[in-house]
Amino acid sequence: MRRGSSRFLIFTPCIVFFHGGPGGGVDPKDRSFFNPTKYKIILFDQRGAGKSTPIANLEDNTTWDLVKDAEKLRLHLNVEKWHVFGGSWGSTLSLAYAQAHPDRVISLVLRGIFTLRKSSSTKRELLTYSPKPGRASSLLFRKQERGDIMLAYHAQLNSEDADVRLRAARAWSKWEMATSKLYVDPSYIARAEEDEFALAFARIENHYFVNDGWMRDGQLLEKQEIDKIRHIPCTIVQGRYDVVCPARTAYELKKVWPEVTLHVVPDAGHSSREPGIEKLLVQSTDKFSDL
């Protein structure tokens, strides 16, 4: 290898992308948030998601397993420090990783803040009356099961009957795809009909929610945890009309971590592909590339 190219590989900043869900997997389009002349871009499918095998697997699949995986990946790639980018569940994992390894994170770019607190999870309430494309959710369960919709889904998503699992997975996934954008995107709804995606997305997401992410309620916002990462430059991009991850959590993070830069996009929902959100995410990664 020429000396010049070797130096390029050593000194080009690396950015790691934590996808949403959990269970959502990466998409080649996720690279578009980063200027390839400024970053070495690292995308990886978390356990049981995307091209990770076995698909939709729940064994040894916890927040802290994923944090360990990310750190093993950093060491494997011989990266001393990297920039961290994550949206929705990816913001949860970004915060958890940064608090576990604060000396390895150069910057944080977060979108659609989610911290797995019981008070900030809308799914328990909204899965029963989701927008029209996902309305079938409430029809999966008998009336007596609807007292705890999360556990009702858990039972069906882990049923021995493959048809029951798939039906529940499609309904769960349709809910999130229907609520991700300010205006419902038919292509998002269509993805919920893909068997492998729906199973991984629904089973893993429900698995994490039922187990509260293997964290104390509100752990990621605790002062002693925020103090570990207070020195890290951080930008948050939040849609004002985000139903999946309501904006109040972003404001609460800003309250305990006033040093962060918070952008609230007035005409956006949850998806990173909302035009206003996408623009600010690209601007943020461009800004931090010089650190």
Calpha distance 198→49 (Å, rounded): 10
Catalytic-role residue among 263, 270, 272, 289: 270
Q: Is 242 a catalytic residue?
A: yes
- 19: how many CB neighbours lie within 10 A of its CB? 24
Amino acid at 43: L
Q: Is 286 a catalytic residue?
A: no
Tell me if residue 184 falls in helix, strand or coil: coil
Which residues sit opposite 16 in a β-bridge? Answer: 42, 84
Question: Positive or negative CA dihedral for 213, 29, 127, 240?
Answer: positive
Which residues sit opposite 291 in a β-bridge? Answer: none
Q: Are 40 and 15 in contact (CB under 8 A)?
A: yes
Tokens linked to 257? 């971590």
Count of CA atoms in the C-beta half-sphere (13 A) of 151: 5
- 124: how many CB neighbours lie within 10 A of its CB? 14
Calpha distance 234→262 (Å, rounded): 9
Calpha distance 212→228 (Å, rounded): 22
Largest CA distance in the chain: 69
Q: Is 154 a catalytic residue?
A: no
Calpha distance 237→235 (Å, rounded): 7
Calpha distance 129→225 (Å, rounded): 35
Catalytic-role residue among 19, 52, 83, 88: 88
Tell me if residue 282 falls in helix, strand or coil: helix
Catalytic-role residue among 91, 94, 107, 242: 242
Question: Positive or negative CA dihedral for 87, 93, 94, 96?
Answer: positive
Amino acid at 135: R
Catalytically active residues are 88, 242, 270
